[in-house]
Amino acid sequence: MQASSDSKIALPYTDKPLLDNPQDFHFAIIADRTGGERKGPFGETMKALNLLRPEFTICVGDLVEGCYGSPTEQQAEKRMNDEWNELENFIDKLDMRFYYVVGNHDINLGWPTNHLAHDVSKRVWVERHGDKTYYDFMVKNCHFICLDSMDGRDGRIPVQGITDEQYAWARQTIRDHADARWTFIFMHMPIDWTSDKWLAFERDINSVNYTLFCGDWHNHVKAVRHGKNYYMVGTSGGVLDKGVIRDDLRYGIMDSVTWVTVTDNGPVIANLQLSGIHGDDVQRCATTLGWIETPLDYPDHLTMDDGLDAEGGGDGTYDWHFRHAMILRNGDFVIKPDIVIAGDGIIHHWGGLNWYGDKMYPRPPELDTPFFNNHRVLNMGFIGDKNENLLWRIRHGELEGTSPKLVILHIGSENLRAGESPDRTVEGILHNVRAIHIAVPNAKVTVLAPLEDVPGAKELRSLLRQAIANDNRAEYMDLSEAYRTRGTTALEEAFL
């Protein structure tokens, strides 16, 4: 029987189009090799790249170990050259072009008292790769920008990370290529994009279609900031984080190649495990709370102005945005606290300056105390915070998902130091108490009087005692005398 002219003719293939756009192209990204290399995976990665045959390959830094700890300049230089020679023997096996991005092992971090490792590793880089530690290039009208997050970590004070000069260059080169199909940004350390300077940079380039890739943390993470995809990629032989001994997709940990297909609609990302293929959401559910998006109109937050660093820790490491992100992640995902300590720098130092509570960080000795051993404690203390800073953090999720039985609050001293009146400061403290009641309604709130003698503290103690007396879910406690003589030991003894 002959088919009618309007019937569909059966064919042994689908009616989808061939994916043969001549403007589409593929490139590959490889992640950290070092920071404790495991021998074997990097060589396998080179073999895989030659099988995949991308147009080119680019890294996100940390391909050599560096010369940290070398006692002399001569030993440091020999060590760096030996490491680069070994690496380049691998890279020479690739059939395609390879682009380098600076990591903190390629050009070592500099410290105010130890410039040796940085100076030698920087000199060796320049000798081998030229003096452009940050640069850009074009492929099929797509703009590629390679940033150097070690640029300002050379021992200078204040610590800058990406320097003002480099930000100015990046802004200008993006403006010069405003008609690019897509912009790809590569850098090593994600901590730079939790800073106020990065947020200002994001404001300036938000109209551009761009995607960012970084490394450093040795696991796969995806974040979406202002509609742009930010990717951290895992390892190609670097140490496996969180103490795992093999690929563990619960944490996005795997040796892999990140495969990027550039289309007219933007990039399509696939993470190719050496034993499998995974999409770009490898760890999305586990990191949504850990890599927050700072609003484009968020005001700069400078906790202290001590001339040492932009965020106020005095050691070049304090990052307000990053600490907030870690607390969001840890509150209900890692710690599930029964006690929360919240407030200013006294609270922060109670739990150690760099302790977030995550199991991936070694537990510092100051936490080996009866208080921290007997309770699951979430530390919401921030150096230099005023009432309004803590209130913003509570309203933006730091207690979300938690159910503590007790919140210990010390806040307001920085307001007094800044010249705010005691009655206005008490009003701010009460705003925070009410916000805590809303966020964790079953928790008791212990409001500590100022533990240090700041201007107006005596009057504030009197006003605060009266104000808290009317709240049946809160109590006032004055430990200032005990704290003056015994420090945080007095706090711990009060809450055991």
Spatial separation of the C-alpha atoms in residues 177 and 186, rounded to whole Å = 16
Cα 412–chain centre separation:
28
Q: What is the pTM of this model?
A: 0.71
Which CATH number does the domain 326-495 belong to among 3.40.50.1110, 3.40.50.300, 2.60.40.10, 3.10.20.30? Answer: 3.40.50.1110
The pLDDT score that the predictor gives to residue 281 is 67
Which CATH number does the domain 25-287 belong to among 3.40.50.300, 2.20.25.90, 3.60.21.10, 3.40.50.720? Answer: 3.60.21.10
Where exactly does CATH 3.60.21.10 map onto the chain?
25-287
The pLDDT score that the predictor gives to residue 276 is 76
Place of tokens 């210990």: 408
C-beta of residue 325 within 8 angstroms of C-beta of residue 291: yes
The per-residue pLDDT string of the chain (496 residues; one tens digit each, 9 = 90 and over) reads 444 455 678 889 888 888 889 999 999 999 999 989 999 999 999 999 999 999 999 999 999 999 988 999 999 999 999 999 999 999 999 999 999 999 999 999 887 777 899 999 999 999 999 999 999 999 999 999 999 999 998 888 777 889 999 999 999 999 999 999 999 999 999 878 878 889 999 999 999 999 999 999 899 989 899 999 999 999 999 998 777 878 888 788 999 999 999 999 999 999 999 877 677 766 554 444 445 566 676 555 544 443 333 333 444 445 677 778 778 877 666 778 999 999 998 998 888 766 655 555 566 777 788 898 899 999 999 888 899 989 988 988 899 989 999 999 999 999 999 999 999 999 999 999 999 999 999 999 999 999 999 999 999 999 999 999 989 999 999 999 999 999 989 999 999 8
HSE of 259, CA atoms in CB hemisphere, 13 A: 18
The pLDDT score that the predictor gives to residue 289 is 44
The CA distances from residue 195 to 149, 294, 386, in Å, are 12, 10, 19
DSSP secondary structure letters along 407-424: EEEE--HHHHHTT--HHH
Spatial separation of the C-alpha atoms in residues 382 and 384, rounded to whole Å = 6
The pLDDT score that the predictor gives to residue 110 is 87
Compute φ and ψ for 397, nearest 5 degrees: 100, 5
The pLDDT score that the predictor gives to residue 312 is 39
Q: Please list the residues that pair with 56 across neighbouring strands.
A: 97
Where exactly does CATH 3.40.50.1110 map onto the chain?
326-495
The pLDDT score that the predictor gives to residue 433 is 97
Q: Please list the residues that pair with 159 across neighbouring strands.
A: 309
Spatial separation of the C-alpha atoms in residues 248 and 182, rounded to whole Å = 32
Q: Please list the residues that pair with 257 across neighbouring strands.
A: 30, 272
The pLDDT score that the predictor gives to residue 356 is 57
Spatial separation of the C-alpha atoms in residues 348 and 368, rounded to whole Å = 16
For residue 221, what are the contacts with CB-CB under 8 A and spacing of at least 6? Answer: 190, 231, 232, 252, 283, 287, 290, 291
- 183-186 β-sheet, strand order: 135-139, 142-146, 183-186, 210-214, 228-232, 221-225
The pLDDT score that the predictor gives to residue 311 is 37
For residue 480, what are the contacts with CB-CB under 8 A and spacing of at least 6? Answer: 449, 450, 451, 452, 453, 457, 461
